[in-house]
Structure 1
């Protein structure tokens, strides 16, 4: 065929880790024959014969199926089989590219050699030496490491593969050796040092592996003489237990035999001249909390190894989507250690995948057996770890045992404090830590400014058992708990400093907190011990108090609340009273309830206890915090008269007892309380006083103390007050400014406050439904990181849908939203939502349900003195009654409208007055009382000086026009 460039017979073609023998028609990877069908081989050989060229589909079909008519689909099937065999596309490797509409192209670099130039050899032995180990099974997840180390070994001559036991160092080394057989003319030798009992036998074992006679007491000189002029690769496996002797020999060979290349495997580096260290990482696992399908999980080498080995023991086993998270958890628990994963996979047939996951929490998992043919130290995890543990000096064993008390990541400072007792000073501990890191028993992360350390789960389980057997477990557990109590107490002092920065939800963003990963895990472990029968209740309570700010910082609110309640339960029984500590506990308990359960009675109870303790200690900081908390608790509970007393007390605290900024916070909460009680004029006075005089202290201290920005909170309610007083445009201007400030602040609690209590209700009442839509969308976008955004957004989306006559959808959204949090979380807004529910229920054909709902809202208004919305509730009830078209409906509606007007005027709420007057005037017009309607509505309308484009004013103007009122053109 014209243009054909087929590979010559008896030629070996190499690309990547593959060798293709065109004469034998065999494809190998690292010495292993890959199963590939005859036609697939024909196609592959043809493509490799024309590397870099585009070969048309017609050419390939004619070559593979001469004189036979076949469909193009047959070609695609065989191309797919070739790609699968090559692992095309995995780890960035590309071999065959599909050129759309044209054909296929082989794109990998190709090298060729004549088979006649190589001795006939099956690749299983080295010349004049012992047999090179076979590959036990298909290697998974180490392709990149094999490629990288192979290239480095050829150029640098001396590479050590270093890592923990069971990672697969030997497997990788064997794969590299096989890969480089041709590079070294088959002069590749494997020296297994793991079986040596005497370190002095390292040189003799090397000579035996090379097939050299061993006649001298010290065979090293003759060994080096034999190697000096030979280009050879020596693979020294398992150097760790003979490392002193092995390192000396390796260094001599490197320096005195310049053509010899050395590959070593060890649990610690040899630390000699010329050595390049490649630290073998665990197999990659899915991250914790990832929700993966089976296909997604199998993209991770650790999971792929687990499933492949499980299927080998249980034919037909496959990973389902339901079990994918379980497989991922198993691999994470085993730290990506290949041996551990293989051992666990071997038990899937007996126990099932979920039981295997459960058993990993028990030391039983360390005893599972692997292949009978494996080296003794690789037959169980315990044997592997025994091998490492027994090689340690006694002091390093002691430190390793004590380090097992850490639940996860820890710092060098923590390690020194917890492990260094009277039997060790800091220098010895640091030296031991260096030794454990170098031996791959402790992992070190130096990517940050602070050194982070950790033990793999399997190592921690093993060392923990050794700690228990040493009878010092409780003593070390106490030191661990004391260390974190003292550390968190130091950090607690920082959270009160003016320089502390805050995160988006008001927690302290301290540099230490941002760099100390895993502190919460250590606190949990310490508390589990401290609260146990072997623990110390007083230490448990003190640690709980110290840890509370960190829980809040990480938004672990429920956990914080539960731990504090556990601590308080021990008061007066096992734990002595400590006013300062107890003040902290009750203060944080109140905050935790505020941000989780919203239980007003529990919030109030916790702040009441905190207030008593603050007075006892004459603590002005906590006095203010507890007054704020008491006001908030009463406000949430709907006790607005009680809230008014606290707010008045807050705003009139004697000069000198509080900062001026806090006194203005008192003005703000007094204004908010008067607004809810219906005194809009008084509310405006106090809010404007606050906005004129308030200057926030530096460092965002008030956001930390009061949970949201105080100026922003004042502006939020100012929008509502201005709207009620008849200034809809001014209200919108303040609302937009507040939103801009909240977005600049980038603080979720403050943004939620500005939206839920300000712009949402304002835009709905003004009839700016497009603005409301945009705000709801913005809130939903932030709801992934801050759940309350979704709850409030859903409620207001329901209100908006009802106002737009999308009744069924609106009722569903609003009802679901109201289920998202306790009524006490939005007590003063609840009557607003009930009013919308009532209107929606009526429109949905449920007049009885509508009236019941509006009566529920009116009952709450009466019960709590929640009066800010009462005029509108009465008007809504009048509308519902009037729309029933019953004989007495008009009279009842008129009475309700008159009551609504009375409430509006009493509160100087001009916007409610206009809305009620419009409803009442429409009723009068229907009854033929046009003059009365005009006399009622016109003077109210004329009192407005702005907002004429808003929905209420536009409707009132239209009604007045229909009643004969003329307006001057503007």
Structure 2
């Protein structure tokens, strides 16, 4: 609100009641109306503070002595100077004095206080028409909420219910969690909501400006409008309010907590009608206290793929978006921002202050940019609201405030606990942080104190109590640890602990995989932290090598291929200035390196040499376990290279060595390797026999450590091969059931590599062969997402090719064919050739559909040459069928018949009914076109009688359609 006028204007203009106003900054002070206005808003201010402000503004530029201020504000009561300090502190808070360069009131020893801002005078309409101040003058400094209150409805209802029948309720929570905001909301409801009138009087005591426990009593007295004579007059204050029926709200108790607790206990003891609602970062531990712990706002769980609607339903997301809208000109959450906004809210633990500060940075960095720089959150999250307390202007200031309140012992403990990246037990904490000034008893007592002060959070789920630090608290404490002399000692003990926990975890994989999986994610983040330290310039490289070896089973279990590769390469980096790992460690690291190379298109060709080196080291060490791992790796590498004859020999060698293994399941797994090799070599009957023997004898619930040894769960891998064999043999329904079972088995153990294996080699390709396009699309989309998330390059290429095939099948040739061409070229470049022939078949089909017959003919010749040299016989019938299709499109009936006959001959040798059906349909078209309709009909009818199931599949439907066409 702005007025214009002159100092000598008439006090009554046009019959309206006029008032003289004193202008400074954005404020106008009306002494006669007893109003202070900022813009169009009337500012709540206590009567004593208002009197002092009037006196100082009227004497602007001059120092006013404390004696004159006391005489003006307390004309009939003798009070001490400390009362002035409390009232001036309130004035400075109301005016925003000292923020953004604004200065209004200064003080000088022995001279008093002076108002130094320029003051103007205006005549304006009386302020009597504005909303009057609250009837309860003690509510003058109650904080107003900025924006709506989000995610605190249940907490509000709880507090409204409890403060009516409990004498003392304390809201406890970490800094910035929104305690004051919640209490302000509750007070508003008590004043203006359905609960209005419940209390005759509500008094608000803000202790944030109070820095000395000796002034706490005066802050209470000021809020209650009571004049007290000395600092020991608690009994006098209680005497004044003994018969009052009121609610006293005490905010920000933590830094003067002992004095507050004493005063509140005295009030509750001698003033039976008074109730108290307090906020603090720790309980007051006063008699009758009921504690309400205020937790951060709920954030989405660590899952992917939330929609905008699902995300915005979480209070942390809603608050961030609402505050960003206020700070960034109406920001609205869009689908593209959902993922980074979720990441921001998770990283900031759902703490309202941190979210509000982050929202204020959205304009500068955007959602993705802000998410990317939150590793430096303490520096980024600055510039809070101008009127906020200084300790709430930045995230660092909030944490500084909490840290300074800690005992020296607890400061040391907090910074050392920051070495943990996830949950920890008391036992783990004691083994890492005890010593050098901290006894084990100090750790136990200190963690209890830090929990009380909301700096450590307990997690009571499960059998053992765990503890953790919020991300923002951890980041702050790590800065303190980095400056402390014991950082390396604590980090080394932490790395040793990680080694011990990982060793225990591997044992759990043998016995209880689900329990191990639950612990894996907790251990993983601490292991990452330990590895970063160990391989740093101040770390312990030898310990880092040991830790890398211990972590390999965890990376394998969690399908973290690229992370494994990164750290293994670091451990094998044999620099001259560093100690070298032992032969056993090198063997294990080389095996892990070979495994990690297999799934990156750029490195897949290096796996053979890595596995040979690992095998040689295992032979030298007499380690049968790693001999088997290496033989499996060599077999897998040969399968990857489409050297199927060599792979069959490697599988036989694996079978031989497995007979010396202490684990009887190794012999059973050998059947899977042999069966898979035979499938690609085209011997479907023997392949099926080996696979079925493996599935019949493999005891699935035991020894899930085989996932660690052989990358993919053996049962899943066997079901995949079984599904492929069954489809080739013409059992389409059984094949799809086996493919579904492989996916279900992978999901049951929650293993991403096994899931991608099942999707890439069974579910997606078989659904395409069967013509179930909707199911194929569903499985392919899942494969695309999983391989993208885990950066499994080769299988991601598969997913791209399957998408291209889907588009071809739906008639979108121009969109689908380039995807297949790209995939084929990428597989050739990566020398990942196991399914190269199958993708070449898809490419030829697309080229024929696009009527690019010359290119199709060149491609099919390349496929024939590759299949012949590789022994890739399983798909040879289909390759020759396509060669015949190209001849037919060129009207070369004779050549077409030759290739179709070759296709049927190969399919018959393999007892591959599925390929026979396809070629029979193709051949029937030539026969029919050349007048041999009866021959074509007999050919199709014979194949039709061979089918025993799969009557809803593409093969049966195509066969019936072809027979109907010829019959008509």
| Aligned counterparts, 1:668-747, within 5 A | 668-680=672-684, 683=687, 686=690, 698-702=702-706, 705-708=709-712, 710=714, 713-714=717-718, 717=721, 728=730, 733=734, 736=737, 739=740, 743=744, 746-747=747-748
Does 951-960 or 738-747 show the bigger shift?
Answer: 951-960
2:846 matched to 1:837?
no
Deviation at 1:567, TM superposition (A): 2.2
Distance change (3 Å), C-alpha of 1:216 and 1:736: closer
Pick from 397, 400, 418: which aligns with 1:404? 418
Pick from 170, 177, 201: which aligns with 1:167? 177
Supply the distance in 2 between the matched residues of 1:299 and 1:586 (Cα, whole angstroms): 47
Q: Is the 8 A contact 1:484 1:523 kept in 2?
A: yes
2:400 matched to 1:386?
yes
Deviation at 1:269, TM superposition (A): 0.3
| Aligned counterparts, 1:473-872, within 5 A | 473-495=487-509, 497=510, 499-501=511-513, 509=514, 511-515=515-519, 518-570=522-574, 574-595=578-599, 597=601, 599-653=603-657, 655-657=659-661, 659-680=663-684, 683=687, 686=690, 698-702=702-706, 705-708=709-712, 710=714, 713-714=717-718, 717=721, 728=730, 733=734, 736=737, 739=740, 743=744, 746-747=747-748, 769=771, 772-773=772-773, 775-776=775-776, 779-780=779-780, 783=783, 786-787=786-787, 795=801, 811=817, 814=820, 827-872=833-878
2:149 matched to 1:140?
yes
Supply the distance in 2 between the matched residues of 1:292 and 1:709 (Cα, whole angstroms): 29
The SS at the match of 1:264 is: strand
Q: Is the 8 A contact 2:170 2:277 kept in 1?
A: yes
Supply the distance in 1 between the matched residues of 2:458 and 2:412 (Cα, whole angstroms): 19
Deviation at 1:268, TM superposition (A): 0.6
The SS at the match of 1:827 is: coil
What is the aligned residue count?
Answer: 826
Supply the distance in 2 between the matched residues of 1:210 and 1:637 (Cα, whole angstroms): 85
Cα distance per residue 1:319-362 (max 9 Å; x no partner): 57467766665555544444455556666788888887777644
Distance change (3 Å), C-alpha of 1:743 and 1:198: closer
Q: Is the 8 A contact 2:641 2:834 kept in 1?
A: no
Pick from 440, 443, 456: which aligns with 1:426? 440
Q: Is the 8 A contact 2:358 2:381 kept in 1?
A: no
The SS at the match of 2:485 is: coil
Instruction: Identify the residue that residue 281 of structure 1 maps to in structure 2.
Output: 295
Does 254-263 or 223-232 show the bigger shift?
Answer: 223-232
Instruction: Identify the residue that residue 76 of structure 1 maps to in structure 2.
Output: none
Supply the distance in 2 between the matched residues of 1:331 and 1:955 (Cα, whole angstroms): 53
Cα distance per residue 1:631-652 (max 9 Å; x no partner): 1111111122321221121233
Distance change (3 Å), C-alpha of 1:256 and 1:641: same
Instruction: Identify the residue that residue 48 of structure 2 maps to in structure 1.
Output: none
The SS at the match of 2:435 is: coil
Supply the distance in 1 between the matched residues of 2:650 and 2:147 (Cα, whole angstroms): 73
Q: Is the 8 A contact 1:363 1:462 kept in 2?
A: no
Distance change (3 Å), C-alpha of 1:348 and 1:681: closer
Supply the distance in 1 between the matched residues of 2:208 and 2:449 (Cα, whole angstroms): 20
Any stretches of 5+ residues in structure 2 without a counterpart? 1-40, 44-129
Cα distance per residue 1:349-387 (max 9 Å; x no partner): 888888877776447738946566654544554444333
Instruction: Identify the residue that residue 365 of structure 1 maps to in structure 2.
Output: 379
Q: Is the 8 A contact 2:768 2:776 kept in 1?
A: no
Does 556-565 or 934-943 show the bigger shift?
Answer: 934-943
| Aligned counterparts, 1:27-106, within 5 A | none
The SS at the match of 2:277 is: strand
Supply the distance in 2 between the matched residues of 1:948 and 1:310 (Cα, whole angstroms): 57
Supply the distance in 2 between the matched residues of 1:572 and 1:855 (Cα, whole angstroms): 52
Q: Is the 8 A contact 2:520 2:554 kept in 1?
A: no
Supply the distance in 1 between the matched residues of 2:948 and 2:361 (Cα, whole angstroms): 77
Supply the distance in 2 between the matched residues of 1:792 and 1:741 (Cα, whole angstroms): 18
Supply the distance in 2 between the matched residues of 1:269 and 1:337 (Cα, whole angstroms): 20
Does 834-843 or 797-806 show the bigger shift?
Answer: 797-806
TM-score normalised to structure 2 length = 0.72
Distance change (3 Å), C-alpha of 1:842 and 1:391: closer
Deviation at 1:261, TM superposition (A): 0.8
Q: Is the 8 A contact 1:776 1:793 kept in 2?
A: no
Instruction: Identify the residue that residue 19 of structure 1 maps to in structure 2.
Output: none
The SS at the match of 2:848 is: helix
Cα distance per residue 1:201-230 (max 9 Å; x no partner): 544543454344434674233333333322
Distance change (3 Å), C-alpha of 1:911 and 1:379: closer
Cα distance per residue 1:234-282 (max 9 Å; x no partner): 2233322332232233223223321011122211101222111122333
The SS at the match of 2:657 is: coil
Supply the distance in 1 between the matched residues of 2:618 and 2:835 (Cα, whole angstroms): 32
Instruction: Identify the residue that residue 885 of structure 2 maps to in structure 1.
Output: 879
Does 845-854 or 464-473 show the bigger shift?
Answer: 464-473
Cα distance per residue 1:586-644 (max 9 Å; x no partner): 33333333455495433323322332232233222222222122111111111223212
Deviation at 1:159, TM superposition (A): 0.9
Distance change (3 Å), C-alpha of 1:957 and 1:565: same
Does 227-236 or 937-946 show the bigger shift?
Answer: 937-946
Q: Is the 8 A contact 1:599 1:822 kept in 2?
A: no
The SS at the match of 1:421 is: coil
Q: Is the 8 A contact 1:872 1:900 kept in 2?
A: yes
Supply the distance in 2 between the matched residues of 1:351 and 1:938 (Cα, whole angstroms): 66
Supply the distance in 1 between the matched residues of 2:231 and 2:940 (Cα, whole angstroms): 120
Deviation at 1:661, TM superposition (A): 3.8
Distance change (3 Å), C-alpha of 1:387 and 1:709: closer
Cα distance per residue 1:520-578 (max 9 Å; x no partner): 33222322222222222222222222223333333333222222223222477624222
Any stretches of 5+ residues in structure 1 without a counterpart? 1-31, 35-119, 502-508, 965-970
Supply the distance in 1 between the matched residues of 2:531 and 2:544 (Cα, whole angstroms): 6
Cα distance per residue 1:734-753 (max 9 Å; x no partner): 76467557646755766776
Instruction: Identify the residue that residue 37 of structure 1 maps to in structure 2.
Output: none
Distance change (3 Å), C-alpha of 1:709 and 1:150: closer
Q: Is the 8 A contact 1:598 1:824 kept in 2?
A: yes
Supply the distance in 1 between the matched residues of 2:160 and 2:696 (Cα, whole angstroms): 73
Distance change (3 Å), C-alpha of 1:841 and 1:571: same
Distance change (3 Å), C-alpha of 1:956 and 1:211: closer
Supply the distance in 1 between the matched residues of 2:150 and 2:539 (Cα, whole angstroms): 44
Does 907-916 or 647-656 show the bigger shift?
Answer: 907-916
The SS at the match of 2:835 is: helix
Supply the distance in 1 between the matched residues of 2:561 and 2:253 (Cα, whole angstroms): 50
Cα distance per residue 1:387-430 (max 9 Å; x no partner): 32222211111111222333454443433232212432222101
The two structures, once aligned, show a CA RMSD in angstroms of 4.9
The SS at the match of 1:272 is: coil
The SS at the match of 2:296 is: coil
Deviation at 1:161, TM superposition (A): 1.8
Does 537-546 or 585-594 show the bigger shift?
Answer: 585-594
Q: Is the 8 A contact 2:386 2:393 kept in 1?
A: yes
Supply the distance in 2 between the matched residues of 1:717 and 1:372 (Cα, whole angstroms): 66
Q: Is the 8 A contact 1:640 1:866 kept in 2?
A: yes
Deviation at 1:846, TM superposition (A): 1.1
The SS at the match of 1:527 is: helix
